[in-house]
């Protein structure tokens, strides 16, 4: 029972702050709402026997990534850009059709799922979420994906440097 | 060395797997709504972060379902890709801003076929 209450609180936090991320006009407030959503998701990870992923979520996501967001928002100025009326407003009904259709489809798939035991709580018999288990999984099975992520980070860093350089050259060094 | 995923016994108390999947679906739809309706590229990136997190909830949930670490490893890799995506996305936004163009994804349509 306690687990379900904990899940309810974390899920409520994640969904309500997710609504805030999507609806709030001010980018700064949306980024702060995203922090709340990310910490709620970290609580969900804790409940799912994934303490290491939960800690990485808080350190990397709620720490580094959102701080990067806030830095760029501060650089661009806090005022929201003045865009004028939306030229595509008449097509917004299709957005709602897609969202509601997908929601109904996902609900039916979940309710009618014949995956054995998906409607009950699995019993954890071994250590799957500790840093020890994750480290062993990376070394034993996933050493190639691990190296591939380092390549992804390298490419992203080179791309960011080239983008910044081109932006400065486009202004003729101003 | 491959560990074989075996279906473990289930109990009726605690949080069932489909609750996590439902939460994941709701968060994914929220993020999708943000991506489809917002016009500021910064808000688009924030909504994409929400969608990636919902996918991570499902991955870690199935990791628990099969009683193996694979899904959690996958979630960590998704986090790395998300960090790379944020760096490139914010770099693009700053580059657009410095060219004194409007920060509106509907206006940045010169590459449209």
- The CATH number covering residue B44 comes to 1.10.287.3510
The stretch B28-55 carries a mean pLDDT of 93
B5 assigned to some structural domain: no
A22:B33 CB<8 A: yes
Find, among A82, A26, A86, A103, the residue nearest to B46 by Cα: A26
Q: Using a CB–CB cutoff of 8 Å, tell me whether A20 touches chain B.
A: no
Q: Using a CB–CB cutoff of 8 Å, tell me whether A65 touches chain B.
A: yes
B76 assigned to some structural domain: yes
B8 assigned to some structural domain: no
B28 assigned to some structural domain: no
Structural domain of residue B92, as residue ranges? 40-103
B26 assigned to some structural domain: no
Strand residues in B1-113 grouped as ranges (E): 10-11
B99 assigned to some structural domain: yes
The pTM for the full model equals 0.88
How many domains, in total, are found in chain B?
1
- Is residue A30 within 8 Å of B46, Cβ to Cβ? yes
The stretch A16-39 carries a mean pLDDT of 93
Contacts of B93 in chain A (CB under 8 A): 72, 76
B109 assigned to some structural domain: no
What is this model's ipTM? Answer: 0.89
DSSP A141: T
Q: Is the pLDDT of residue B81 over 80?
A: yes
Q: Among B8, B90, B91, whose Cβ lies nearest the Cβ of A122?
A: B8
């Amino acid at each position: 029972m306690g687990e379900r209450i904990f899940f309810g609180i974390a899920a409520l936090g994640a969904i309500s702050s997710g609504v805030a991320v999507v609806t709030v006009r001010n980018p700064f407030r949306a980024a702060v709402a995203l922090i709340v959503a990310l910490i709620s998701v970290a609580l969900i990870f804790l409940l799912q026997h994934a303490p290491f992923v939960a800690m990485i979520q808080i350190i990397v996501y709620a720490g580094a990534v959102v701080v990067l967001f806030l830095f760029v928002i501060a650089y661009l100025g806090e005022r929201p850009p003045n865009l004028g009326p939306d030229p595509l407003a008449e097509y917004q009904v299709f957005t709602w059709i897609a969202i509601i259709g997908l929601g109904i489809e996902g609900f039916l798939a979940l309710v009618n799922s014949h995956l054995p035991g998906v409607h009950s709580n699995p019993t954890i018999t071994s250590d799957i979420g500790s840093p020890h288990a994750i480290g062993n999984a990376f070394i034993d099975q996933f050493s190639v994906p691990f190296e591939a992520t380092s390549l992804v980070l390298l490419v992203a860093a080179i791309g960011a440097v080239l983008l910044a350089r081109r932006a400065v050259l486009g202004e003729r060094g101003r | 060395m491959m560990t074989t995923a075996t279906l473990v016994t289930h109990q009726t108390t605690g949080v069932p797997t489909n609750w996590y999947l439902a939460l994941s679906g709701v968060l994914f739809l929220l993020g999708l709504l943000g991506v489809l309706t917002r016009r500021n590229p910064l808000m688009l990136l924030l909504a994409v972060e929400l969608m990636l997190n919902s996918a991570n909830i499902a991955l870690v949930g199935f990791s628990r379902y099969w009683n193996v670490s694979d899904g959690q490893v996958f979630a960590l890799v998704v986090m790395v890709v998300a960090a790379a995506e944020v760096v490139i996305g914010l770099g693009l936004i700053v580059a657009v801003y410095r060219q004194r163009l409007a920060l509106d994804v509907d206006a940045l349509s010169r590459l449209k076929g």
